[in-house]
Structure 1
Amino acid sequence: MIGYPPLQIRVKTPRLELVGADDEMLAALAPLVREGKVFVEPAPYDDPMSFYESDPDVRVSKWLQSVWRGRGRFGPAKFRLGFAVLVDGQAVGMQDLIAEKFDTCGTVLSFSWLSTDVRGRGLGTEMRSAMLHLAFAGLDAREAGSDAFIDNIGSNRVSEALGYARNGVEWDIRRGEPGLLQRWRLTREAWEAGRRDDIELSGVEDFVALLAHH
């Protein structure tokens, strides 16, 4: 296995672990995508989105392609870190950290999904907390953003619980129809106010060193 720093990062909390989504981890997550356990009503994702594909084979194929595209996008300004979420060693979802203009603005966004089998247990908040700890404590980010359709109660509650402030609304498209998005913003100062001391990072130094040489 090639030691590729973006896939070597680990974030461990008392409840779960974020592990770089290499192909072995994607193989563990694929059955959840195939069985439609990523999806929930009301529709949580904007267009285009592989999770809306009705054919399971097409759904998995397009999902893998999107993850691989994100993995290949790497540089000081722009990168996407995809993590498998492990609970008791079992892959139950993904948490991504997305950086745009990172070298100048220090901002990150998040994207995540969780199997329907394990929703309602507070794992969405825990995995976002892990991602934020990596962003702020590990990568020295200045600000984190998030957005979710107004009727995506779960995602909006996670943002609110973690100290994000509302940051306006905008329209987007889901399944060909307009939907209103709630935007959220978390400053470094707001994150520091609720900073946790029970989250462990590993593999970050090698990743930062690689960023510096790109």
Structure 2
Amino acid sequence: MVSSHWPLFDLRLSTPRLRLRVPTLEDLDALADVAVDGVHDPDVQPFAMPWTDAPPIERARGTLQYHWSQWAAWKPSAWVLNLVVEFDGTIVGTQGMTGKDFAVLREVSTGSWLGRRYQGQGIGTEMRAAVLHLAFAGLGAEHAVSAAFADNAASFAVSRKLGYEDNGIDRYVVRGRPVVCRRLRLDCARWQARRTVPVTVDGLAPCLPLFGLDDADAS
């Protein structure tokens, strides 16, 4: 146990190939190295906040600072759970899940990135499946939402595989140009019907109050 006062450090999600956890400082350093190595083709920008356009040293430091800032900002009514993804003993990316007024709304949103060298191996699907299991089976969520720019075929492939449905669009300005962002939504029934990845969650019970829940809420 890293801290008896912050049980999230003992939360673990496991799939057949992956381990997801709240990062240690060593994990964050490894994640920053992955960010420096590259997350996507430099000719495209898949993020509404274009953090990957920064020079490598700023990208690395920004990765650390972002995770630290979300730890400090955590509230049961507004939380962002960022997990590092370990594949074959190596940190390969990060999978996030956000809840606002979750105890009432029972809705989460997800976001992630994966080092470019690890893409195309089904890891993105498996890591999203892990947090969806945490949301629906562990926390009692009713809906999960996601979004991606219209040209992000890989992200949509993951979402379709897991059962998401279209949920409208937003528009952003990225690199000085308008882009269309497609929203997607997944309800608990469709998640149940489409789930194929076995997931194990350990260490959740002590964390429930940090999500604004108790044992009865999550069941």
User: What's the secondary structure of 1:113's corresponding residue?
Assistant: strand
Change (3 A) 1:197 1:115: closer
Change (3 A) 1:173 1:101: farther
- Name the amino acid aligned to 2:39: V
Q: Is the 8 A contact 2:29 2:64 kept in 1?
A: no
* 2:184 is the alignment partner of 1:184: yes
User: What's the secondary structure of 1:186's corresponding residue?
Assistant: strand
**Which residue is 1:39 aligned to?**
40
* 2:58 is the alignment partner of 1:58: yes
1-side partners of 2:57 and 2:122: how far apart? 30
**Which residue is 2:142 aligned to?**
142
Alignment of 1:4-83 (within 5 A): 4-35=6-37, 37-40=38-41, 41-47=43-49, 49-53=50-54, 55-83=55-83
Give the Å deviation of 1:190.
0.9
**Which residue is 1:97 aligned to?**
97
- Name the amino acid aligned to 2:8: P
1-side partners of 2:53 and 2:174: how far apart? 10
Q: Is the 8 A contact 2:102 2:211 kept in 1?
A: no
The count of corresponding residues between Structure 1 and Structure 2 is: 211
**Which residue is 1:160 aligned to?**
160
User: What's the secondary structure of 2:45's corresponding residue?
Assistant: coil
Structure 2 unmatched runs, 5+: 215-219
- Name the amino acid aligned to 1:154: A
2-side partners of 1:21 and 1:211: how far apart? 18
User: What's the secondary structure of 2:132's corresponding residue?
Assistant: helix
Map Cα deviations across residues 56-93 of structure 1 (whole Å, 9 max, x no partner).
Answer: 21111122111111222222221111111111111000
2-side partners of 1:173 and 1:8: how far apart? 39
**Which residue is 2:200 aligned to?**
200
Percent identity between matched residues is 35
Runs (4+) of structure 1 exceeding 6 A deviation are none
TM-score by length of 2: 0.90
Q: Is the 8 A contact 2:32 2:59 kept in 1?
A: no
- Name the amino acid aligned to 1:173: V
Give the Å deviation of 1:197.
6.9
User: What's the secondary structure of 1:191's corresponding residue?
Assistant: helix
Structure 1 unmatched runs, 5+: none
Change (3 A) 1:192 1:69: same
1-side partners of 2:114 and 2:105: how far apart? 29
Q: Is the 8 A contact 1:42 1:152 kept in 2?
A: no
Q: Comparing 131-140 with 68-77, which one deviates more in the overlay?
A: 68-77
TM-score by length of 1: 0.92
- Name the amino acid aligned to 2:17: R
Give the Å deviation of 1:34.
2.1
